[in-house]
Structures are given as C-alpha cells and as structure tokens.
Amino acid sequence: MELQKPRGTRDFLPEEMRKRRYIENKLREVATGWGYGEIKTPTFEHIELFTLKSGDGILGEIYNFKDKGDREIALRPELTAPVVRMYVEELQRSPKPLKFFYFDNCFRYERPQKGRFREFFQFGVEIIGSARPESDAEVIALAAEMLKSAGVKGDLHIGHIGIVRTLLKDIQPEYQGKIMRLVDKKDDKGLEDFLDQINAPDDIRGKLFRLIGLHGENAMHEAQELVGDIEALTQFKALLELLDVYGIEYQVDLGIARGLDYYTGMVFEIYCEGLGAQNQVCGGGSYRLAQLFGGEDTPSTGYAIGFDRIMEICEAKPVVSKCIVVVSFEDTRKEAIIIAQKLRIHVTTYLDVMGRKFKDQIAYANTIGASHVVIVGKNELDAGKVALKDMKTGEQELLSVEEVIKKLN
C-alpha cells in the first residue's frame, strides 16, 4: 500500500525549506527590531475559543474532534483568538502595551486551491492595550516593512469599521454583523437583498452603498459629507497623518470590512499581483476580543501575513552557503570523522556514510555543488596534513586542518 499525504497539505524539501526559513527569519528580524517578542500557543484549543468568536457556523470550516476525555477540541484555524486567550489567562496585569509576534501553522477544512491549503502558515503581530492611532500606524508600518524585507511590494488599502458602523447605529446589532459580512465579501446583490429583507430605511441604504464605494484621495471628504464630524472619522484622519510621517503609500478604501464582529476601528488589507484571485497577502485591524473570553475590555491591533502566499512571489533569496565534503579511504574513516567534527564548527561539512569508493565520494561532492573537498589519506595524515581540493579550479594543496579552516573562512 502506497501512502500519500492528506489532501490540502504539502511536503517541503530541503531547497524549499531553506528559502522558507530564510524569509521567516527576515520577518522575525524585523519584528524583533521593532521591539516585539515572540510567543507560541498550543496547536489545538478548546473549541469554544473559536465558536465564541465566530459562532457555530465555523464548525464546518475547522478540524475538530473529541479527545479521550470527551472534550471538544479544535486545531487552530487562526492565531488571534489563541493569543488573546493567552493574554486573558496569563498577562492581563502586565504593563501595557504588550507587543507580540508569532509564526505557526493553522488548519482549515476547506477546498484546496491555488494559494489556499488545509494546513497553512501565518506570521502575525499584535499590540495589546492601546487604542491610540499611534499603535495602529505602527502596526501597519511594521507590516509594510516585513513585506519589504521579503522582497514583496503590495498595495495597502485601509478603512475604518467605526465609520460604517456609525451609519448603521439605528439598525439592530445582529443585522449589522450580517451587513458587515456582506460588505466584506463585496456581495452587493446579497447586501441589497438583505437590506430589502430587513426594511432598511432608504437614506441609510443609499449612504451605505456610497460609503463603501469610496476610494482614493477624495474618500475622506466625501465620507465626512455622508456621516458628519464623528469620532471615528477624526481618529482615522489622525492615523492617515501618521502613515504619511512613516512614508507609507496607501489607498483609503471604506469598503474593507474584514467580516468579523470583533473589529472595531481601523482595518487594512495588502494585495499583491501574481497570485490570481487569492491576492491578499496581509490583513488586520483594531479589535476588542478579550472581554468575550472573560477578560477586561482591552483594545488591540494586529494582523496576519499569509506566509504561503508571499512565498509564491517573494524576491528575496537566501545566499547559498559554502559546503565541503570530507573524502576518506577505508583505513582513514575514523580520522575523517574527527576532522569533519572540527570543520563543522566553521563550515557546512558532509561526510560519506555510504561506504563509497574514493572516486564516488568526489562525484557526490560535484553533485551537491561542494566548493572544496578535504581528502583524508594515510600519507597526508602521516604528515599531519590533509589535501584541500578546489572543485572549481581543480587545484590541490596540503594543509593542516587549522590552515583549511582559515582558508575556507
């Protein structure tokens, strides 16, 4: 019986993993440089963590099961909820703001397609404890800097949930959530039908369609004409001014809703070419989720980068590190092990473990692109030396192990 990997999952071979680790570390270096600390949460959580946030409708989209203690468990479909759960459980009394980043795998039971898998990877950031426009601006600037470090240039679209919600303030809260989800899906026909269904006033209906259609330079002026001088608009203007200070290019887009009820203020998405319909590589915003999980009402701002998507288009490439092969004979294999141990401290070193003949070890060195081979022969050892051969030029010289290390460095 030939076994295959489950549908919607992938194997990553060494060359691909080298590139993934390189980009992952680029993102990690940026986050650390901005003062964010890395955290990690469990791969599975109690299912209520996700149904409380998203409702029972999410059950059809996640991997969930009962464990041997008859507890309902789910593999995490995203990482924001686990991070907030961790905050409520362990860090509520910590000085604010708290700044975190994380990189991990998530799981969703959905139809696999280009850029979407059942096991996927997210790199995310959260600031917990600040409702200021400064924290929103920093998070967006950090997202832009991370993508830049990976060689990815995207188009930033930014909106504000509070502006749209102000317009809907006289509509029942449960209806508001449905409206925001339809806005998020860009489902104008579905939105129109639902507004008919709930008998939404004509003036609200007209203003809503105008508001979510606002883009670009005049969007703020037109939004003010529609909703007046509201606090959400004032906050949004302050945020945009700070983004200008950061030198961030953006497009105001009041049609961004993110579709989740816990978003309360700024929301943003970053899109990239070359990914087809699934062209969003980053999304997030400001939210309040702690109270839902039994904590105090706490403002937060965060985002997640779709790591698999940026790997499809990123231009940054790892520098191929130098590697060497220690070549030995039947009577020098033990000495070769000792020499390889010394060399590995300084350079990537391969050692034959197949019992190959001398010429086959040389051929293997060519196959893997080794820059040099270190030949451990009986005559060389008697002289306290090894032979260092340059695989590109064919030049060979007798050196001590210390001299080899110095030359290769």
Whichever domain contains 195, its CATH number is 3.30.930.10
Q: Is 45 exposed, middle or buried (0-12, 13-18, 19+ CB in 10 A)?
A: middle
Residue bearing the bigger pLDDT, 312 or 111: 312
**Share above pLDDT 70 across residues of the chain, in percent, rounded to a whole number:** 98
Among 85-94, 133-142, 180-189, name the one with the lowest average pLDDT. 180-189
318 found inside a domain:
no
6 found inside a domain:
no
**pLDDT tier for residue 182 given thresholds of 50, 70 and 90:** confident
4 found inside a domain:
no
Same-domain check for residues 178 and 252:
yes
389 found inside a domain:
yes
Same-domain check for residues 141 and 38:
yes
216 found inside a domain:
yes
Q: Residue 80: which domain range?
A: 14-313
Say if CB 41 and CB 76 are below 8 A apart.
Answer: yes
Say if CB 194 and CB 182 are below 8 A apart.
Answer: yes
Q: What is the DSSP string of 94-137?
A: SPSPEEEEEEEEEE--S--BTTB-SEEEEEEEEEES--SHHHHH
What per-residue confidence (pLDDT) applies to 261? 67
Secondary structure of the chain: what % helix, strand, coil (to 5)? 45, 25, 35
Residue bearing the bigger pLDDT, 235 or 172: 235
Residue bearing the bigger pLDDT, 313 or 176: 313
Question: Can you give the pTM of this predicted structure?
Answer: 0.89
The amino acid sitting at 408 is: L
Q: What is the pLDDT of residues 278-329, one digit of tens each?
A: 789 999 999 999 999 999 999 999 999 999 999 999 888 888 788 999 999 9
Same-domain check for residues 158 and 82:
yes
226 found inside a domain:
yes
CA distances from 249 to 81, 217, 219 (A): 30, 12, 15
What per-residue confidence (pLDDT) applies to 167? 82
Say if CB 264 and CB 147 are below 8 A apart.
Answer: no
Q: Is 307 exposed, middle or buried (0-12, 13-18, 19+ CB in 10 A)?
A: buried
Same-domain check for residues 210 and 288:
yes
8 found inside a domain:
no
**pLDDT tier for residue 259 given thresholds of 50, 70 and 90:** low
Same-domain check for residues 334 and 309:
no
3 found inside a domain:
no
Domain end among 262, 291, 313: 313
On the question of pLDDT at 331 being above 90, the answer is yes
Q: What is the pLDDT of residues 45-56, one digit of tens each?
A: 999 999 887 777
Q: What is the mean pLDDT of residues 161-190?
A: 82
On the question of pLDDT at 159 being above 80, the answer is yes
Same-domain check for residues 250 and 357:
no
Q: How far is it between the farthest Cα atoms of the chain? A: 96
What residues pair up with 372 in beta bridges, in sequence order? 324, 390
Same-domain check for residues 251 and 145:
yes
Residue bearing the bigger pLDDT, 370 or 173: 370
Rounded distance, CA 229 to CA 271, Å? 30
Q: What is the mean pLDDT of residues 205-225?
A: 83
CATH of the domain at 330: 3.40.50.800
10: which residues sit within 8 A by CB, 6+ positions away?
117, 119
What per-residue confidence (pLDDT) applies to 203? 80
Same-domain check for residues 184 and 40:
yes
Same-domain check for residues 26 and 112:
yes
Number of domains the chain contains: 2
Q: What is the mean pLDDT of residues 323-351?
A: 96
Same-domain check for residues 220 and 243:
yes
Domain end among 284, 313, 342: 313
Domain end among 244, 278, 313: 313
Prior bond of 173 cis (ω within 30°): no
What per-residue confidence (pLDDT) applies to 255? 85
Say how far residue 270 (Cα) sits from the centre of its chain.
13
Say if CB 304 and CB 146 are below 8 A apart.
Answer: no
**Average pLDDT of every residue of the chain:** 91
Same-domain check for residues 265 and 127:
yes
What per-residue confidence (pLDDT) applies to 22? 95
Q: Which element (helix H / strand E) includes 300?
A: strand 299-306
What per-residue confidence (pLDDT) applies to 215? 82
Residue 70: which region, alpha, beta or left (left: phi > 0; alpha: psi -120 to 50)?
A: left
What per-residue confidence (pLDDT) applies to 229? 83
Q: What is the pLDDT of residues 3-41, one digit of tens each?
A: 999 999 999 999 999 999 999 999 999 999 999 999 999
Same-domain check for residues 214 and 239:
yes
What per-residue confidence (pLDDT) applies to 256? 86
Rounded distance, CA 248 to CA 4, Å? 45
Rounded distance, CA 322 to CA 309, Å? 29
What per-residue confidence (pLDDT) applies to 361? 96
